[in-house]
Structure 1
């Protein structure tokens, strides 16, 4: 099966970088589809610079690997990022910010804790039971968090300023030259009125704006997938179209 050669030619990225392709596995977003991924290792010279270049080219990070979809017959996955400096929250998003004004964001070193893991297991059972991560043990979680060759932070969100205040949400976030890349988030599903998933994105946008960083990377958006619909609520949203980032239109 022929793969698009552009997957292995990334503008602005150092020559000689070796890419690999995974075997086909069932797509978690589109029925009756199979996914493949092109990936390369970040554990080499100047990993932060390489990670930034690959992120601009639509790659995502998982531990020490950068990957992007490499499906021969499908291009539904679109890389998206929020224009943080032009973002203006909607009325509903302002209400979400207000409902969570009691939360304290605390950046910590990317080191897995049992407290985080308990929250993750609760989240997976209630939101993604039967999914690919549902049987994740603490060792696997620690690998997801600890094994990073690039600048990464864990943002813990607690109900109070003390270190032992109740933990309600966590975001594993990479720090890029031009913003934040939200690698993975999870939260307490017993507090649905908080809309914690939305709140963490809004908080990252607000944090990026305060630092003068232009973007918050949200990973992949799939128009046909209801699970991905929430990403279009963060306007203006940019989509990677070939080698160029452009504004995603409301009617797309």
Structure 2
């Protein structure tokens, strides 16, 4: 492990089959440091990295730049009419925040993956896989839980950093699609981030022209990381592909 908290070693993976586009090859930059301090990880988030379990990575594909880091400036975030309706429609849902893992989290995750992502790289789900990509040695993930009539119906796994939140992964009751629970969890992440005085919600990678990964542009204003730095966009996007 590098003893200087201001610097890290970076490696690069061989090319492998892309998780999002079957005909493409993927390549990642990987941080080669086992334990990260939270301020350092937050700086890496601002450089387009994110984590899966203990691994911190950023796409660096030689022939593709589809994955775009997106974050929401929380002080500027404004609800759309649709988002206001989502909140109103779910006023009967209770929101809780915990940093304790519960077996009911995995039971819900298992149902979600089998119903919504049976054709993806996360299928079939296992408890070991769940723990491997969500848990971490150097940060304790928080679970923003949604309850309806005392039943867990949604979980947003979220990292809390000194100046930001990072959305790690969300899953919800697949039979309740009409409630837009995925969108509801993002809205509560924004609300909680504001309440906690955080500046940004890091949303991971926006992937245009992908049916399951185009929803992040619906939360405005947002910022996209470009070669010139973070660029703000507060204009409505045409024809968003997916309203989660």
Task: String of CA shifts for 1:116-151, please: whole Å, max 9, x gaps.
Answer: 111111101111003111122112212333334124
Tell me the equivalent position of 1:14. 6
Tell me the equivalent position of 2:241. none
Cα distance between partner residues in 2 of 1:81 and 1:33: 25
Tell me the equivalent position of 2:129. 140
SS in 2 for 1:106: strand
Offset at residue 110 of structure 1 (A) = 4.5
Cα distance between partner residues in 2 of 1:31 and 1:141: 23
Cα distance between partner residues in 1 of 2:122 and 2:204: 18
Backbone CA RMSD of aligned residues: 1.9
Cα distance between partner residues in 2 of 1:184 and 1:81: 15
Of 10, 14, 17, the match for 1:26 = 17
Of 54, 70, 75, the match for 1:80 = 70
Tell me the equivalent position of 1:215. 200
What TM-score do you get using the length of structure 2 for normalisation? 0.88
Cα distance between partner residues in 1 of 2:146 and 2:47: 30
SS in 2 for 1:74: coil
SS in 2 for 1:95: helix
Q: Does the Cα contact within 8 Å between 1:57 and 1:243 map onto a contact in 2?
A: no
Q: CA 1:14 to 1:24, structure 2 compared with 1: closer, same or farther past 3 Å?
A: same
Task: String of CA shifts for 1:68-99, please: whole Å, max 9, x gaps.
Answer: 00111221211001121111111111010111
Cα distance between partner residues in 2 of 1:101 and 1:42: 43
Q: Does the Cα contact within 8 Å between 1:114 and 1:138 map onto a contact in 2?
A: no
Cα distance between partner residues in 2 of 1:22 and 1:108: 35
1:142-181 residue pairs with structure 2 within 5 A? 142-160=131-149, 165-181=150-166
Bigger mean CA deviation after superposition, 136-145 or 33-42: 136-145
Q: Structure 2, unaligned stretches of length 5 or more?
A: 239-244
Cα distance between partner residues in 2 of 1:114 and 1:152: 15
| Stretches of 4+ aligned residues off by more than 4 angstroms | 249-252
Q: CA 1:235 to 1:170, structure 2 compared with 1: closer, same or farther past 3 Å?
A: same
Tell me the equivalent position of 1:5. none
Offset at residue 42 of structure 1 (A) = 5.0
Q: CA 1:171 to 1:91, structure 2 compared with 1: closer, same or farther past 3 Å?
A: same
Cα distance between partner residues in 1 of 2:72 and 2:163: 11
| 1:66 corresponds to 2:56 | yes
Tell me the equivalent position of 1:10. none
> How many residues are aligned here?
233
Tell me the equivalent position of 2:106. 117
What TM-score do you get using the length of structure 1 for normalisation? 0.85
Q: Does the Cα contact within 8 Å between 2:99 and 2:140 map onto a contact in 1?
A: no
Q: CA 1:204 to 1:70, structure 2 compared with 1: closer, same or farther past 3 Å?
A: same
| 1:224 corresponds to 2:224 | no
SS in 1 for 2:213: helix
Cα distance between partner residues in 1 of 2:100 and 2:63: 37
Q: Does the Cα contact within 8 Å between 1:60 and 1:66 map onto a contact in 2?
A: yes
